[in-house]
Amino acid sequence: MRRLCCRFPLSYQPFDCPEVFSASGTCQRMEITNVMEYEAIAKEKLPKMVYDYYASGAEDEWTLQENREAFSRILFRPRILIDVSKIDMAATVLGFKISMPIMIAPTAMQKMAHPDGEYATARAASAAGTIMTLSSWATSSVEEVASTGPGIRFFQLYVYKDRNVVEQLVRRAEKAGFKAIALTVDTPRLGRREADIKNRFTLPPFLTLKNFEGLNLGKMDKTDDSGLASYVAGQIDRSLSWKDVKWLQSITSLPILVKGVLTAEDASLAIQNGAAGIIVSNHGARQLDYVPATITALEEVVKSAQGRVPVFLDGGVRRGTDVFKALALGASGVFIGRPVVFSLAAEGEVGVRKVLQMLRDEFELTMALSGCVSLKDITRNHIITSSRL
């Protein structure tokens, strides 16, 4: 195993670390200075099947790359000589006060990354004063995550063909104190993730999709394809439509965030059908390839929403500058996906805490250097998008 050396950046590791290194092969003196550095450590530590599942996108992975590149095409128009000695990053999401507009997106099966899995993520989010979204396909149940202690948590919902399963799960999430449902609407079928097909991806046999354990749906069979794609084909309701958003409201009083909106048309429909908020998401580029980066799609959705409901974004957020750019284009907050699983793999709860802290620090610095002291100061005029360059 390569021993990563703290004397060189992760992108340039000419030889194995001659210093102290941990059992995982990571030099203990390694200074992590940004969120992206966790990916190389995760790649080294995790079995290939798991790393590939976390890292990959659909088909050509054009959107995966674009989710990052589109951020790099947005530049700043910073304002100067503004007193930035005090910066307030506090945000309010669906009436809940959080310490910063950076939240945790649902990512499935976190115990493949670290034995503490979703517990570690829940604790790290709560320590940072922000929201964690728990995936339907978590390897810890809603009750288990609730038992980690206080914290504002949302529950991400996949709608199964068997609506009794869905009803039970939503009630359990409500009872466990989850505050909103993020309804994922971009997955009537699973996107074609070629790495998972090649690896015959499946949930390792020592783990279960904990929320479904008692319902006989917690295991995933190994197939000669992606085991997850087969599971989705068997269980997930492809007929899901807007009327089901109404149905969901009839079985729960929790607010519903529609996750996976990329167009103005669907933003209007989401609002007409009672959504409490919209998440502009392309599922981390894991579903339909060649959809635009979320930061590119954000503005049309924001315009269509006309301030009636908050609009959030996920996809490729790796820097505090990305968070600022999303807010300047009208987002009320952002969610992060892969940085959580990669930092979990590297360092468990400590890693997730560091990711949240680094993004917080970078975002605060971006606000200061742009002349913004609170979120409401961040405007469209603080950035230049490529059409205006």
Which CB atom, from 5 or from 195, has the smaller least distance to ligand FNR?
Answer: 195
Write the DSSP assignment of 12-61 as a string of letters: ---S---S-B-TTSBBTT----STTHHHHHHHHHS-HHHHHHHH--STT-
DSSP assigned state of 114? -
283 annotated active-site: yes
Work out which of 111, 179, 193, 283 binds ligand FNR, going by CB under 6 A: 283
CA 31 to chain CA mean position, Å: 24
Instruction: Spot the catalytic one: 283, 353, 354, 382.
Output: 283
Q: How far apart are CA 181 and CA 94, in angstroms?
A: 11
**For ligand FNR, the closer CB: 135 or 208:** 135
Our finding on whether 336 is near ligand FNR (CB under 6 A) is yes
Instruction: For residue 279, list its beta bridge partners.
Output: 259, 312
3-state class (DSSP) for residue 258: strand
Site string for ligand FNR, 204-243 (x = CB under 6 A): ----------------------------------------
- Kindly state whether residue 156 participates in binding ligand FNR, applying the rule CB under 6 A: yes
State which H helix or E strand residue 164 sits in: helix 163-175
Q: Which of 26, 148, 184, 296 binds ligand FNR (CB under 6 A)?
A: 184
- Indicate whether 117 belongs to the interface with ligand FNR (CB under 6 A): no
Judged by beta carbon, residue 146 or residue 157, the one nearer ligand FNR is 157
Between 100 and 108, name the residue whose CB sits nearer to ligand FNR: 108
Q: Where are the alpha helices (DSSP H) in 73-162?
A: 117-127, 142-146
315 lies in the site for ligand FNR, by CB under 6 A: yes
Q: Where do we find the tokens 């006989």?
A: 216
CB of 282 to ligand FNR, least distance (A): 7
* Dihedral, 129, 64, 196, 190 alpha carbons, nearest 10: 80
Among 71, 119, 137, 201, binds ligand FNR (CB under 6 A): 137
Stretch that binds ligand FNR, among 40-48, 143-151, 331-339, 358-366 (CB under 6 A): 331-339
Residue 389 CA from chain centroid, whole number: 30
Among residues 336, 350, 338, the alpha carbon closest in space to that of 110 is found at 338
State how far the Cα of 119 lies from the Cα of 141, in Å rounded to an integer. 10
* Least Cβ distance, residue 22 to ligand FNR (angstroms): 24
Residue closer to ligand FNR (CB basis): 19 or 69: 69
Q: How many CB atoms lie within 10 A of CB 60?
A: 11
**Contacts (CB under 6 A) with ligand FNR, residues 22-81:** 54, 67
Q: Is 134 helix (H, G, I), strand (E, B) or coil?
A: strand
Q: What are the residue numbers of the active site?
A: 283
Query: Applying CB under 6 A, which residues contact ligand FNR?
Result: 54, 67, 105-108, 135, 137, 156, 184, 259, 281, 283-284, 286, 314-317, 336-338, 341
Residues making up the annotated binding site for FMN are 106-108, 135, 156, 158, 184, 259, 281, 314-318, 337-338
